Amino acid sequence: MPSSKKKQKKKSTKKTQSKNTDTKSADLSKASTQIVKQKVSGQKVYCSDLSEKAWKNLEPLLPKKQTGKVGQTGKVGRPTSDLRLIINGILYVLRSGCSWAMLWAMLPKEYPCFKTVYGYFWRWSREGIWQKIQVALVKKVRKKVKKRKERPSAACLDSCSVKTTQIGGEERGYDAGKKVKGRKRFILVDTVGLLLAVIVVGAHTSEKAGAQLLLEKIKSSKRLSNLCRRIKLVWVDGGYQGNELVQWVKHVWNWHWQVVKRNENQSGFVVLPRRWVVERTFAWLSFHRRLNKDYEKTTQSSENFIYIAAIDLMLKRL
């Protein structure tokens, strides 16, 4: 009798173990199918991915998918990638600060090959797609969320120096004031803090020279000049003062160049009127870890990463 009881217990334990393994395998299969469904449908997988609402606002602004050539047997050529997964991969690199190769090494299932993701990033950077999306979203956010006109009438300009890495690249220098070896970012924002234009130069570039380069870039671009055509007043800090620069801005843009100076009697950190808006925009951009240092070889890639960060911030407002 005792031997038969032991045999029954062994059989019951084997049955329970087999049931547990079956449930675990079923759970794993469900999880894998769920990941595949999320990959195909483009649903949110990581916190850096686009939400459904953000994708609906961004999708109409993206270029149309390129289809293969049609022959006798139908469409031929490599199938196009899901644009939502491409955007999610670029945002993951921007938010996490990882390299393009790590995108494929660490996340082989969720995102396409890193060469494909980087190819879209570089191609759209050359074609000015990121700048085009950024300009369209600025108009949309100002009109829909802030209840203002599409184009701003006042703006604020400032710069920020960031370190570069051992990768090297063009336009690098030393900022003696901030004691930073790397590059300097000049940005123009509206009174809400939305990015209007950006230029990346060597850190040795002075504030006045950098401001002139940024305004010349806006003037040469039809898209940016159209966005900034209503501006009449620009606030800057003491580094941009000088009669020559004021007259130059008056001649080129017919803008009123107002310098907001700091009170010499005050010590420590003080929030200055109007100037804090552009400082807040720099703080918003710093949430994207890829921008904490300049890892790019070209200034074009640096500028477009800043545009993508601004796009990411504006999509969350809509």
Give the whole-number percent of the chain exceeding pLDDT 90: 62
Which carries the bigger pLDDT value, residue 244 or residue 73? 244
pLDDT (0 to 100) of residue 46:
83
Mean pLDDT of 273-281: 89
pTM exceeds 0.75 for this model: yes
Tens digits of per-residue pLDDT, 43-86?
557 889 999 999 999 999 999 876 555 445 555 556 778 899 99
- Taking the CA atoms of residue 208, residue 210, residue 215 and residue 220 in that order, the dihedral angle to the nearest 10 degrees is 140
The residue type found at 154 is A
pLDDT of residue 73: 52
**Residues contacting residue 68 through CB under 8 Å, at least 6 positions apart:** 75, 76, 77, 78, 79
Which domains does the chain carry?
A: 32-60+79-127 (no CATH), 133-315 (3.30.420)
Can you read off the two tokens belonging to residue 34? Answer: 């769920």
pLDDT reported for residue 310: 97
Q: What is the CA radius of gyration of the chain?
A: 26
Query: Highest mean pLDDT range out of 36-50, 182-196, 249-263?
Result: 182-196
Cα dihedral: 118, 120, 124, 126 (round 10): 50
With tokens 């003037």, the residue in question is 219
- The pLDDT value recorded for residue 3 is 56
Report the C-alpha gap between 169 and 183 in whole angstroms.
10
What's the pLDDT at 80?
78
**Are 188 and 216 within 8 A, CB to CB?**
no
Do 155 and 191 form a contact (C-beta atoms < 8 A)? yes
Which amino acid, one-letter code, is at 67? T
Highest mean pLDDT among 168-172, 177-181, 302-306: 302-306
List of residues 6+ apart from 163 with CB closer than 8 A: 180, 181, 182, 293, 294
Average pLDDT over residues 179-197: 96
Task: Quick: pLDDT tens for 6-51.
Answer: 555 555 555 555 555 555 454 444 444 444 445 445 455 788 999 9
